[in-house]
Amino acid sequence: VKRQQMEKIDDDQDDPIKMQKAKEEEEEAIGMSERSRLISDTQAVVDGKKTSSKSFIQRFVLLRLLSMNGSEWKTIFIGCAACLFSGASQPLFSVFYANVVGAFGYCSIRERRSHVLNASLVFLIFGGILLVLNFLQYTAFAIAGSQLTQRIRSKAFGCLLRQEVAYFDQSENTSGAISVRLSSDAAAVQEMAGTRLGVICQSLALMLFGIAFGCYINWQLTFIVLVSLIVMIFLTFGDMSLRVWQGKQNDKIMGRASTLAVEVIHNMRTIKQSSVEKEVLRQYSDLIYEAVRLCRMTMVPISVLSGIYWTIDVYTMAFVYWRALVLVEEKQLTSHHIIMVVAYSMFALQAIKLMGMLSYRIAGSVSAAQSFFNLFDRIPTIDNGSDEGQELDDFHGDIKFDDVKFIYPTRPTSVVLNKFQLNIMPSQRVALAGMLNFHVVIEYYS
């Protein structure tokens, strides 16, 4: 009884000390949390200033991709030149097409046969030239795109290694999400800087040369086609903007779903032992349903834009035929010129339509490139590649840790070292053991 009374007295005396110590630890934790919040706010302000102070090249994704691929400028130049000649050749097809139609106007069978054979021979030669140009175009952009993908993946992995630990605590930066970005996003960027870039350049060349060719024949009919092209370009831009936004939101959701799937597969034994299969399935199904609901939100405006987009060419040709009839009646235009303008209009509208068909893939590539550039531009709070700080001039390997405490500034609740003590003599081998995911991890150092 006396022993219990003495222990009670000692506990009563120790309680104020323990309470004071607990209060100090709580105040220290609050101070660390406040410091972490200030660091996060400072990082957000820096990111905001950095985003607002980006140069024009950094804001425009395509120009920045080309600047990263500057060492392949010769290959890109060959591809762009092939696109230029390929796009400029399309208006010439309208001239040959008008000549073929006009050849059937001859009364003599021999003359008709001669003109049709000559036009067919010209088409055959022109087709061979376009075959060579398209081969050069797609080969050059494929080579440049593969080199760019290699650079982006290496640079992205290097930037990931520079980030602080708190960066990987975010839900969108888990191991599963990062693996998906390194694989699928890099492939999307390769397509953007490869074959799709060739299609864009070829369509722009066709539009510019076609407008100049049409204005040479008749500016009124060309103006009708030009207005339709401008409307289709704006519709394509709006469709791409919606799809880029949808792609960013969908990537976040699918990244969380991929992370959940990876964690479940890696810990399948624990899942089976705990009998939580239904709960894991519910969480995964909720994420998939969230992605479907996001798709439904953008489905209506995208469908409206697509409906308008695919009916513009019909109304354009109707206005072209109506205006051409008026010009023919006023004897300002011949039937030969009408055939050339109509043929050019069909080629130009089909080229812009091709860009519209690829808008979904182009939007995905733009979104992937922006995510990579955001990673490249991010400055970590703790930069392990920095040379600032104290450097040891004379180091012999005699290391002593005495009552060391360490906490990451961005993770104040996770104590890494707490009163750590260790003496390492020169040429001594040391083994450090710790717990990681309920497993004992041993690291050997010499």
Query: For residue 6, what pLDDT is reported?
Result: 42
Per-residue model confidence (pLDDT) at position 40: 44
Report d(CA 295, CA 4) in Å as an integer.
70
Host H or E run for residue 221: helix 219-266
Cα separation, 151 vs 116, whole angstroms: 52
Residue 77's SS3 state is helix
Residue-level length of the chain: 446
The one-letter amino acid code at 306 reads: S
Q: Where are the domains of the chain?
A: 1-53, 56-377, 399-445
Token digits of residue 423: 């003496």
**Cα 358 to Cα 199: distance, rounded to the nearest angstrom:** 9
The pLDDT score that the predictor gives to residue 50 is 46
> Domain 56-377: which CATH class?
mainly alpha
Helix axes 73-103, 109-162, angle to 10 degrees: 160
Instruction: Give the C-alpha separation, 229 to 233, whole Å.
Output: 6
How does DSSP classify residue 53?
A: T
Ranges in the chain, pLDDT < 70: 1-59, 194, 356, 360, 384-385, 395, 397, 410, 434-446
C-alpha atoms less than 13 angstroms from C-alpha of 28 in its C-beta half-sphere: 10
What are 381's two structure tokens?
A: 């709070």
Burial of 294 (0-12, 13-18, 19+ CB in 10 A): middle
Residues 6+ apart with CB under 8 A from 29: 412, 413
Instruction: State the Cα–Cα distance between residues 86 and 206, nearest whole angstrom.
Output: 8
Q: Is the pTM of this model over 0.85?
A: no
| Cα–Cα distance for residue pair 405/419, rounded to 1 Å | 5
Yes or no: say if 291 and 254 are a contact pair by the CB < 8 Å rule.
Answer: yes
Distance CA 149, CA 190 (A): 6
pLDDT value of position 441 = 54
Q: What does the pLDDT read at residue 154?
A: 86
Helices 359-377 and 195-217, axial angle in degrees (round to 10): 120
